[in-house]
Amino acid sequence: EILPIAEALRKYDWLEEKYYWQLIHPDEDQITNLVESQEEPQGFFLKVFANHKVEYPYQTALYMASANIAQVIHNIVVVEEGASLELITGCLTHQQVDRGLHFAVTESYVGENAKLTNTMVHSWGADVTVRPRAATSVDAGGIFNSNYVSMRTGADIVSNPSIYLNGEGASANFMSVILAEKGSHVNTGTTVYLNGTDTSAELKHRGVSTGGQIYQGGLVIGNNSCRAHIDCSGMLIGEATDGFIQSVPGIRANSNEAQLSHEASIGRIAPEQVEYLMSRGFEEGDAISLIIRGFLDAGITGLGSELDAAIRHIADVAAQGEG
């Protein structure tokens, strides 16, 4: 079932009590205040009923067609016990739209033994400010997979979703792939609270800077017997002096049964790699693109066609900055 969020709130009395503003508080910051203050909220309510497996990926989109506007959204996603859903969301601006604001609150609920795979692909104009606020709760045996890809970065993106693994055996996998071109500022992280017993989480950040600024973060908090790992990797492309990558993964154990680890690395393309591929018949640009794609794909399994195409696009754009 999918409805506009305002219509769903009028139709279901229980929606506000159980799900609406239950994971994120309206007074958390200026962004949530603004979203909460809308006279009639914009966004969607999406619910998958218990034990129902949605066979095909469900696609939604947010499109900014005009410049100098504020896009203010509140979405609710509920995947009930034993159900599964693959959700693909595209957020983008028209090619001629350079300036705008995107403020979004998304609250997602994964029931017992349910599975939600959420893939978000962003493509923003050069002067768009992006401030998503997202939180997800996962019950016992539930699985939450989140993929975030930024293909054409706006001027200023800050995103730090929260994931609450509350039930026994709940798990989460978060992956971000970021392209930061000259003039852009991208700050991505994820905070995972491993509250239930035998919970697990893995966070992977891949960033490519062709002159933009990337901050890679991530914090896992072990509050029970659990396992979690953070992997932050970055690649600097070209000679632009304004660009940089800063990786600061964090781990915190509040239980002596928590097993947490992290790693971070930043590097560049080795000339000998390019030379080797060129000796095998590749053009220089194609060789560089292939290396970048291998870096972005590293350790990531089961990419869907949409995500695979987005990563290929990022590799091609980044290769132009190196070549």
Query: Residue 86: enclosing H or E segment and its boundaries?
Result: strand 84-93
pLDDT at 316 over 80: no
For residue 135, name the pLDDT band (cuts at 50, 70, 90): very high
Strand partners, 261: 229
pLDDT at 321 over 60: no
Is 138 within 8 Å of 165 (Cβ atoms)? yes
At 40 the pLDDT is 93
- Three state DSSP letters for 13-67: CHHHHHCCCCCCCCCCCHHHHHHHCCCCCCCEEEEECCCCECCCCEEEEEEECCC
At 208 the pLDDT is 87
Least confident of 30-44, 78-92, 225-239: 225-239
For residue 317, name the pLDDT band (cuts at 50, 70, 90): low
At 161 the pLDDT is 96
pTM here is 0.89
pLDDT at 143 over 70: yes
For residue 250, name the pLDDT band (cuts at 50, 70, 90): very high
Q: How far apart are CA 274 and CA 66, in angstroms?
A: 42
Q: Quick one: DSSP state of residue 140?
A: T
Least confident of 71-85, 134-148, 237-251: 237-251
pLDDT at 165 over 90: yes
Strand order in the sheet with 171-181: 58-64, 84-93, 115-123, 143-152, 171-181, 199-210, 226-236, 258-267
At 68 the pLDDT is 83
* 208 alpha-carbon distance from chain centroid: 15
For residue 237, name the pLDDT band (cuts at 50, 70, 90): confident
* 230 alpha-carbon distance from chain centroid: 14
pLDDT at 124 over 90: no
At 210 the pLDDT is 85
pLDDT at 225 over 90: yes
Could you read off the pLDDT of 254-313 as tens digits, one per residue?
999 999 999 998 887 777 777 777 787 777 777 777 777 776 765 454 456 666 666 666
Q: How far apart are CA 157 and CA 214, in angstroms?
A: 10
Strand ranges (E), 111-166: 115-123, 127-138, 143-152, 156-159, 162-165
Please, what is the average pLDDT of the chain? 87
At 229 the pLDDT is 96
